[in-house]
């Protein structure tokens, strides 16, 4: 654990009355830390309201730096609150329902004061039918859309693809430097999929922002379940940003929610079972016990927690979140590979309404023939998405080390990118960084691909065929395959749709 994180960890332990603080000597750490690095750690973990309580431990220069950071936090919070009031009033005037699932709602519910919780932006859940209307309202209020494209087009795509990972539109407003207000309008959240969101909509309470302005958040049990699910996703599932996922603030929120807020624990458990989210509560209980020796859900005996479900998360505090995820996915890949699925000359995969057939897989040749069979009814799906056919070599032998690319475990790949342009289909071969959207803001007209043969048209299906050559030096290695896709929101903007099936689904060995 590097010293700056260890010092912040000590402060968090003190704040939540964890006995783990007794094993750390803060004065020794303060003499060793780099203040710039420490403040970076504090910013990432959203913990400046905690650090300010221990400012007397620091010398004059360090105190000055911390006070500057705290003042920036107060200014940002003031601007966020002002923007929230403005948006709530505008939405109410148009009878648009908006719900705050985190941010100000958690600050007021848990602490009764927004300055006791650090958050970066405003997230609003909005019924899908109202997204377009509220988005245009924000533009009228001086916000601009991240992609500068027609809001209506993005909303239409989101409404048509309800269960897609594409679930938000982001807006900005620049105030005096360096403050920028970010507002995200969401049809769902990372923590709660779209299929469950209406259940949460039916369980709301009002929160006062003062000045007779109120808006809504979830009732206590639903708000806590959302918080636990959010912690689970950020700390255990969300590998897209590796070391940037997860914050110590989340555990502080959980501790004080359980301490300060009246909620029905039996009701919480019943909801977790009903929505198949019990693993979120288990994870939070396990992590609070392991990181801080604290039991947050007093109705649950820590002896009953199955810690083997969740590998040690102290790695978060060591600044090695990347390594945690890489090991997690490598072990999943190894287990999948050990199933010894029979190798074949020909493989067929079904993905996004298309049958993808690979042939010549067992031959010594580097050539693989690829055929996509798409029903005419699903042809539009191929026009709306970029499809990535990803080939990776030697996954079972991939070492985990600090030199691994932060953005991807699956680095050494040859990927076929299939896209449409002017009603024709094209492909190009490239090495892509997985877990990112390659060429996300590039119009397909600007891509230099080869035309895919027009194919054989049957009564019901269209076949698109072409050849792919793996590198010669791959022939002595095991070769793996998977498929993923991006969804077109605008003519020149694509976003994650179904990425490696479930963000890290293992590859299948084909050679």
Query: CA quadruple 188, 191, 194, 200: dihedral positive or negative?
Result: negative
354-359 and 479-490 strand pairing: unpaired
Q: Is the pLDDT of residue 238 over 80?
A: no
Query: For the chain, how many structural domains are there in total?
Result: 2
Alpha helices in 275-319 (DSSP H): 278-292, 314-317
In a domain, 280, yes or no: yes
Domain end position, chosen among 267, 286, 319? 319
| 384 and 452 together in one domain | yes
User: Hey, which residues does 419 pair with through a beta bridge?
Assistant: 426
* Closest to 291 (Cα-Cα) out of 494, 481, 470, 23: 23
CATH code at 120? 3.30.460.40
Q: Is the pLDDT of residue 84 over 50?
A: yes
The average confidence (pLDDT) of the chain is 85
In a domain, 489, yes or no: yes
Q: Which of 46-55, 256-265, 460-469 has the lowest mean pLDDT?
A: 460-469
Q: Give the per-residue pLDDT at 305.
A: 61
Give CA–CA dist 87/90, Å, rounded: 5
Average pLDDT over residues 212-235: 91
Q: Side by side, which strands form the sheet with 168-174?
A: 122-125, 180-186, 168-174, 144-145
In a domain, 295, yes or no: yes
| 311 and 350 together in one domain | no
In a domain, 332, yes or no: no
Q: Is the pLDDT of residue 255 over 80?
A: yes
| 251 and 162 together in one domain | yes
**How do residues 159-188 score in pLDDT, each as one tens digit?**
888 878 788 888 999 887 778 899 999 998
In a domain, 12, yes or no: no
Domain end position, chosen among 290, 319, 348? 319
In a domain, 325, yes or no: no
In a domain, 456, yes or no: yes
**How do residues 387-419 score in pLDDT, each as one tens digit?**
999 998 887 766 655 555 545 566 678 999 999
In a domain, 311, yes or no: yes
| 352 and 486 together in one domain | yes
| 257 and 301 together in one domain | yes
Is 414 in a helix, a strand, or coil?
strand
| 352 and 500 together in one domain | yes
**How do residues 123-153 score in pLDDT, each as one tens digit?**
999 998 899 999 999 999 999 887 767 888 8
**How do residues 423-441 score in pLDDT, each as one tens digit?**
889 999 988 877 677 788 8
| 279 and 416 together in one domain | no
| 171 and 257 together in one domain | yes
| 227 and 132 together in one domain | yes
Is 464 in a helix, a strand, or coil?
strand
Q: Which of 259-263, 310-314, 379-383 has the lowest mean pLDDT?
A: 310-314
Query: What proportions of the chain, in percent to the nearest 5, are helix, strand and coil?
Result: 45, 20, 35
| 254 and 375 together in one domain | no
212 or 60, higher pLDDT? 60
What are the structure tokens assigned to 362, written together?
Answer: 């067992």
| 397 and 287 together in one domain | no
Domain containing 399 equals 340-509
User: Confidence band (pLDDT; 50, 70, 90) for 241?
Assistant: very low
Domain end position, chosen among 256, 286, 319? 319
| 470 and 398 together in one domain | yes
Which pTM does this prediction carry?
Answer: 0.88
Give CA–CA dist 446/424, Å, rounded: 14
Q: Is the pLDDT of residue 275 over 90?
A: yes
User: Confidence band (pLDDT; 50, 70, 90) for 331?
Assistant: confident
């Amino acid at each position: 654990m590097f010293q700056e994180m260890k010092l912040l960890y000590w402060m968090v332990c003190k704040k939540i009355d964890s006995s783990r603080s007794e094993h750390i000597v803060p004065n020794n750490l303060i003499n060793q830390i780099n203040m710039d690095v420490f403040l970076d750690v504090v910013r990432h973990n959203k913990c400046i309201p905690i650090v300010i309580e221990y400012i007397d431990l620091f010398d004059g220069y360090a105190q000055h730096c911390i006070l500057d950071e705290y003042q920036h936090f107060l200014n940002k919070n003031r601007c966020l609150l002002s923007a929230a009031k403005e948006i709530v009033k505008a939405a109410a005037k148009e009878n648009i329902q908006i719900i705050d699932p985190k941010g100000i709602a958690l600050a007021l519910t848990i602490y009764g004061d927004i300055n006791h919780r650090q958050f970066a932006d405003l997230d609003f859940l909005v019924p899908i039918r109202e997204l377009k209307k509220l988005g245009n309202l924000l533009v009228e209020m001086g916000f601009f859309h991240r992609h500068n494209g027609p809001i209506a087009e993005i909303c239409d795509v989101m409404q048509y693809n309800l269960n897609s990972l594409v679930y938000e539109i982001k807006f900005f407003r620049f105030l005096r430097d360096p403050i920028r207000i970010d507002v995200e309008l969401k049809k769902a959240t990372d923590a709660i999929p779209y299929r469950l969101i209406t259940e949460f909509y039916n369980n709301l309470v009002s929160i006062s922002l003062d000045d007779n302005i109120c808006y809504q958040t979830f009732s206590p049990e639903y708000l806590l379940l959302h918080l636990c699910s959010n912690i689970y996703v950020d700390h255990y599932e969300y590998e897209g940003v590796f070391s940037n996922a997860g914050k110590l603030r989340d555990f502080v929120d959980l501790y004080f929610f359980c301490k300060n807020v009246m909620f029905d624990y039996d009701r919480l458990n019943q909801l977790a079972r009903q929505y198949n989210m019990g693993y979120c509560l288990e994870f939070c209980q396990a992590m609070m016990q392991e990181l801080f020796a604290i039991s947050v859900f007093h109705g649950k005996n820590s002896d009953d927690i199955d810690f083997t479900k969740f590998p040690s998360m102290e790695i978060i505090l060591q600044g090695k979140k990347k390594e945690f995820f890489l090991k997690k996915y490598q072990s999943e890949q190894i287990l999948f590979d050990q199933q010894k699925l029979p190798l074949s000359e020909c493989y067929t995969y079904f993905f996004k309404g298309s049958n993808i057939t690979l042939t010549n897989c067992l031959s010594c040749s580097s050539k693989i023939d690829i055929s996509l069979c798409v029903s005419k009814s699903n042809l539009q799906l191929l026009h709306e998405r970029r499809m990535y056919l990803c080939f990776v070599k030697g996954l079972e032998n991939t070492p985990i080390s600090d030199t691994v690319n932060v953005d991807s475990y699956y680095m050494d790949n040859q990927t076929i990118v299939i896209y449409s342009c002017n009603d024709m289909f094209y492909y190009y071969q490239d090495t892509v960084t997985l877990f990112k959207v390659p060429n996300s803001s590039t119009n397909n007209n600007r891509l230099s691909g080869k035309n895919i043969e027009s194919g054989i048209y049957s009564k019901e299906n269209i076949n698109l065929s072409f050849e792919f050559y793996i590198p010669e030096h791959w022939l002595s290695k095991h070769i793996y395959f998977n498929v993923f896709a991006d969804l077109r929101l605008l003519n020149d903007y694509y976003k994650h749709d179904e990425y490696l099936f479930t963000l890290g689904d293992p590859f299948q060995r084909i050679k």
